[in-house]
Amino acid sequence: MEPGYDTTHTALRCWWLFLFSGILLFIAGCGVLRYPVGTYLTISLLLGIVVVAVGVAHIYFAVANSKILPRRPWHLIIGIVDLIIGVLLFSYPDITMAVLPPLVGIWFLVRGASLLVYAYTLRRLHGRSWGWFLAGGILIAIFAGFIIYYPVFEFFTIVVWTAAALMITGISNMLLAFRLKAKKDETAIIL
């Protein structure tokens, strides 16, 4: 067994957390489109639960891979921000309705930035398809901008852009999970 196998294998074994997060985010996006009228009130509760779960998964990933994860503080910060926003969304649904666009916009801005960091990390690891994560991060940031800066179209903005951003973020997380799993399998075969 080569040196570094244990740490690399440990980092890659948590690939399923991104798959779990991606599936949750994609399902949440479909739910937003399926129930647009009731969505505005329930979106804070639904999104709060999903964002808390994603935050916990991100924090767990950062802690489980603390010895070898590049930019570990960034992963922890993303998880903590997700956790705080999720608890706020879930705890105060009536107040959340008034400030939902900026809260959701900020959350998607953080998620877009995290995809940009993943793209950079994959590029440094000579991973394939890092450009998809770069494009996903840019798209999510654009969606965040629409949500934050165009509150006049609040219902349309929140329902449609939130659904689109959730589905794109979910797909990006699932793709990242499969890339990490492939790297894990590749590493196991080589070593």
Residue 25 pLDDT > 70? yes
Residue 9 pLDDT > 70? no
What phi-psi label fits residue 103: left (phi over 0), alpha (psi between -120 and 50 degrees) or beta?
A: alpha
Residue 31 pLDDT > 80? yes
Read off the pLDDT band of 152 (50, 70, 90). Answer: low
Most confident of 16-30, 54-68, 69-83, 106-120: 16-30
Q: How far apart are CA 168 and CA 5, in angstroms?
A: 33
pLDDT at site 87: 87
Q: Which residue has the higher pLDDT, 15 or 11?
A: 15
Q: Which residue has the higher pLDDT, 135 or 10?
A: 135
Read off the pLDDT band of 24 (50, 70, 90). Answer: very high
Residue 4, Cα to own-chain centre: how many angstroms? 28
Residue 164 pLDDT > 80? yes
Q: How many CB atoms lie within 10 A of CB 73?
A: 9
Q: Tell me which residue of 160, 176, 66 sits closest to 111, measured CA to CA.
A: 176
> pLDDT per residue over 113-145, tens digit each?
888 888 887 787 776 778 888 998 999 888 888
pTM of the model: 0.53
Give the residue-averaged pLDDT of 20-29. 91
pLDDT at site 171: 92
Read off the pLDDT band of 174 (50, 70, 90). Answer: very high
pLDDT at site 14: 78
| SS3 (DSSP) at 191 | coil
